[in-house]
Structure 1
Amino acid sequence: MPSARRPHAVTITDVAREAGVAVSTVSRALTNPDRVNVVTREHVQQVAARLGYRASPAARALGTGRTATLALVLPDITNPYFAGLIRGAERQAEATGHILVIGDSEENARAEARMVERLAPGVDGFLLGSSRLTDARILQFDAAMPVVLVNRRVPAVTSVSPDQQGGTRQIVEHLVALGHRRAIFLAGPPESWLGRQRWAGISSAAKKHGLKVKRLGPYHPSVEGGLLAGEAALADGATAVIAHNDLMAIGALKRMKARGVSVPGDVSIVGFDDIFGADFCDPPLTTLSDRTEQAGRSAVDLLVALVREQARLEHDAPADIVAPTQLVVRGSTGPAPAPPLPTTPGSS
């Protein structure tokens, strides 16, 4: 029995032969149609469709200088916080006719820079999520290619970031309303721009509302980092703990439970990000929520616009979107414990 033969892939040469035009004319008609008169363009496109011709990404790149591919680089793709960002970016990339590739820099600025350099020849632009790069390095990349920052702001670079000033104010006001007078901030990686913004916002709001707050860390932004941070928080004796992110907050909550400390009876705990599972904790976690999926969609739209502006040599002022945040109050925060009654001489 003869073996089945693989069907012949239609090439640009096949289209040119069938249409009775030069290969270069087919290339222009399919990748740069404005350079071909309307009659020839429609004829070539009809022949290509009838033959089932599909241009490869490489062929399109040769014709247009673009690959229809975008890159999203993240510091830790295992962090549940980035799930919404990835989902939003992927869906919007598909909606705009692009492919999205994702890279993990493992919380390392050098690895992030190498990844951008390696991917640059094959993509039209970059989404840098929670970038660990310095401002100067980001500006270098932005000068060479379209770049959109997510969860990071650098002057003159297009960005989408959550409102940390308003969000941290909500956290502080919530704790003060519950009667807390001393709090601890468990800091994450020193390279984290969001972490620095969170500490700055907490410090400012705490000063305004008379809340004494102390910074401990840095700690790794994970449950394991939260376990260590929770131990340090216990030694300090504050009645409220604000963690760099939900993973650390969950780790601190686990440490409190293991030590027999009641949450929120003895200590209230607040996180950031409202990741999937934050409401599954025992007790459910109070946390600051931002719209990560919408941020991913907005970032892709901004990047696609930058790519098109680059092709037209028209550049508008960089967009700087600050997205709203909202405190989600759950069971991990409650009234501050009453101070112990003073002892009197002679009392037993």
Structure 2
Amino acid sequence: MSEPVRVTIYDVARESGVSPATVSRALSQPQKVHPHTLALVLAVVDRLGYRRNAFARSAGSPRTGTIAMVVPDITNPYYSEAIHGAERRAQAADIGLVLANTGEDPARERAVLERLIGRVDGFVLTSSRLSDAEVTALSDRASVVLLNRHVEGISCSLVDQDQGSQRIITHLAALGHTRMAYAGGPSSSWVRHQRWNALSGSAQSHELEIRQLGPFRPSLEDGPAAAEEVLRAGATAVVAHNDLLAIGIIRHVQGNGLAVPADLSVVGYDDMFVSRFCTPPLTTLGGQYESAAHHGVEMLVEGRRNQLVVLPSSLAIRESTGPAPGATPCTSSSLRP
């Protein structure tokens, strides 16, 4: 038996002939809505059986009209897209968005959350560095949605890593690379482990060698250290945790007289805008990060629990990858995805 279709704030707005923001205001701040409009909206709410979101209904916890988005590094361009998507969806619901930066520090993330619990209506945790147990415990005290992270029992919105990582390996294998490296991000990063599992599994299926190196900070500054480890490993191709680390690797390799991709092919993750303008332009796996954040805030606003949204990823092939030194590239038809 199929589940009944959930009525959303958009359905109420459409039936009422008003904006979603007006519906949200009618339910949370009725004194600010014209009596005629208020009566109309409430009638449609009753007729459609619309249920307000969980954090708005929680007994003994008056609404603040604000949610918090917690990010590890506000200077990372990846999070700019996510913040924009979250901000647009929060604005549509007439909800304020507070931004908190944790500096890639789990202890700082814990402190930020403790300060904000009770002061906001819920949390959007982006690439949280907390353990699964800590995230689950937080969800018992507050409404929580995860971005770029998955924890069982908590609503999550993310971009596919598995199939995309497999496409990276297939691409490098087609170029004749048999010895690769993965420059992994922080050890507390969930996505680091997801990517490694997919990359190593795909490499094994192609009978190729790949080594995990690091951990490294996902920054330009850690590029030199990552590049040195990659070169010591004898890899002809490296997949970096994100585009910033990949660009840092490229700059260090070129500064030491080697060429990309002639001596080393480099792949990143996230398809940041800077990846198109580095030299050479970066091959990278991207996705709909703004949409993922939009979905995440929507799940929080609508009170949807234990839901998973996975959006597709796409591999942008640019000039930072090329044939392995001395190798003859394979045809794509001879490779398994």
- The TM-score range, normalised by the shorter chain, is 0.7 to 0.9
- Is the aligned partner of 1:95 residue 2:83? no
Equivalent residue for 1:222, pick from 214, 219, 232: 219
Question: Hey, what does 1:164 align to over in structure 2?
Answer: 161
Question: Hey, what does 2:312 align to over in structure 1?
Answer: 324
Report the Cα offset of residue 236 of structure 1. Answer: 2.0
Equivalent residue for 1:148, pick from 145, 148, 152: 145
Contact 1:32 1:63 in 2 (8 A): no
Alignment-mate amino acid for residue 324 of structure 1: P
Structure scoring higher RCO (CA < 8 A, sep ≥ 6) equals: 2
Question: Hey, what does 1:264 align to over in structure 2?
Answer: 261
Equivalent residue for 2:194, pick from 190, 194, 197: 197
Alpha-carbon distance between aligned partners in 2 of 1:70 and 1:30, rounded to the nearest angstrom: 14
Contact 1:182 1:212 in 2 (8 A): yes
Deviation digits for residues 83-111 of structure 1 (CA, Å, limit 9, x no counterpart): 00001111111011111000011111121
Q: How many aligned positions are there?
A: 280
- Structure 2 regions of 5+ residues with no counterpart? 1-25, 40-57, 328-337
- Is the aligned partner of 1:249 residue 2:246? yes
Question: Hey, what does 1:77 align to over in structure 2?
Answer: 74
Alignment-mate amino acid for residue 222 of structure 1: S
Question: Hey, what does 1:19 align to over in structure 2?
Answer: none
Cα distance change on mapping 1:168 and 1:101 into 2, 3 Å? same
Cα distance change on mapping 1:295 and 1:30 into 2, 3 Å? closer
- Is the aligned partner of 1:336 residue 2:324? yes
Contact 1:32 1:64 in 2 (8 A): no
TM-score, normalised by the number of residues in structure 1: 0.77
* Partner SS state of residue 74, structure 2: coil
TM-score, normalised by the number of residues in structure 2: 0.79
Deviation digits for residues 97-129 of structure 1 (CA, Å, limit 9, x no counterpart): 111000011111121111111112221100000
Cα distance change on mapping 1:299 and 1:30 into 2, 3 Å? closer
- Is the aligned partner of 1:294 residue 2:291? yes
Alignment-mate amino acid for residue 274 of structure 1: D
Deviation digits for residues 129-164 of structure 1 (CA, Å, limit 9, x no counterpart): 000011111011111111000010000010011211
Report the Cα offset of residue 232 of structure 1. Answer: 1.6
* Partner SS state of residue 118, structure 2: helix
Alignment-mate amino acid for residue 128 of structure 1: L
Cα distance change on mapping 1:29 and 1:221 into 2, 3 Å? closer
- Structure 1 regions of 5+ residues with no counterpart? 1-27, 43-60, 307-315, 340-348
Highest Rg: 1 or 2? Answer: 1
Alpha-carbon distance between aligned partners in 2 of 1:277 and 1:317, rounded to the nearest angstrom: 36
Identity of aligned residues (%): 44
Cα distance change on mapping 1:130 and 1:121 into 2, 3 Å? same
Cα distance change on mapping 1:68 and 1:291 into 2, 3 Å? same
User: In angstroms, what is the RMSD of aligned CA positions?
Assistant: 2.2
- Is the aligned partner of 1:114 residue 2:102? no
Where does structure 1 differ by over 3 angstroms across 4 or more consecutive aligned residues?
A: 28-33, 61-64
